[in-house]
């Protein structure tokens, strides 16, 4: 896009864009970004393919990686693509402290030179949608980044997904 102001970038990412590139741009940069997205998809496939049933449950939160579904207290939670990638990365690295740079690199694939507040914005979105427990699942490590605490971990199972219909969107 020709819109390269910070506000345009933030709006584009908040609306669910995986990345944002303003004109003029280098074809080499474009190719590198496309490769990074493909690499991220391959890594995601490796993570989800290695879990039994592709689901994890912690406390009242259940995530089915195979179906790309999130439930809180048995109710479906709608997440944008970026929110889902962020939650997936935090869950895949549960109990580890992840730096802001690590998260930006893996979720947005940035060698980030812009305003890092986009990460705080998405952490806030996730907290509003899925983090309604005390102590919170998503923990801020001041001056470092974030970690995801596992509460009442039931292990990798299919818990909370048996009642989901397989055909979402048909007739809705």
Question: pLDDT tens-digit profile of 8-56?
Answer: 777 776 666 667 777 888 888 888 777 776 666 554 444 443 344 578 8
59-68 mean pLDDT: 84
Q: What is the rounded end-to-end Cα distance, in angstroms, of the chain? A: 32
102-131 mean pLDDT: 83
The span from the CA of 77 to the CA of 132, in Å, is 13
28-42, 66-80, 140-154: least confident range = 28-42
User: What ranges make up the beta strands (E) of the chain?
Assistant: 55-58, 61-64, 69-72, 75-76, 98-99, 138-141, 145-148
Above pLDDT 90, what percent of the chain?
22
Q: Are 19 and 33 in contact (CB under 8 A)?
A: yes
Predicted confidence at residue 111, as pLDDT, reads 61
Q: Are 89 and 107 in contact (CB under 8 A)?
A: yes
pLDDT tens readout for residues 75-104: 999 999 899 999 999 988 888 899 988 898
What is the enclosing helix (H) or strand (E) of 44? helix 27-49
């Amino acid at each position: 896009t020709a819109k390269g102001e910070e506000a345009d970038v933030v709006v584009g990412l908040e609306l669910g864009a995986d990345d944002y590139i303003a004109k003029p741009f280098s074809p080499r940069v474009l190719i590198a970004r496309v490769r990074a997205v493909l690499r991220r998809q391959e890594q995601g496939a490796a993570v989800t393919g290695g879990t039994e049933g592709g689901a994890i449950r912690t406390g009242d939160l259940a995530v089915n990686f195979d179906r790309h579904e999130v439930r809180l207290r048995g109710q479906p939670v709608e997440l944008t693509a970026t929110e889902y990638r962020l939650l997936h990365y935090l869950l895949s690295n549960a109990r580890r402290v992840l730096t802001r740079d690590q998260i930006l690199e893996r979720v947005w694939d940035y060698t980030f030179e812009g305003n890092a507040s986009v990460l705080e914005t998405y952490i806030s979105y996730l907290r509003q949608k899925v983090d309604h427990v005390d102590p919170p699942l998503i923990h801020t490590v001041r001056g470092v980044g974030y970690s995801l605490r596992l509460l009442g971990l039931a292990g990798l199972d299919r818990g909370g997904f048996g009642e989901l219909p397989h055909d979402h969107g048909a007739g809705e």
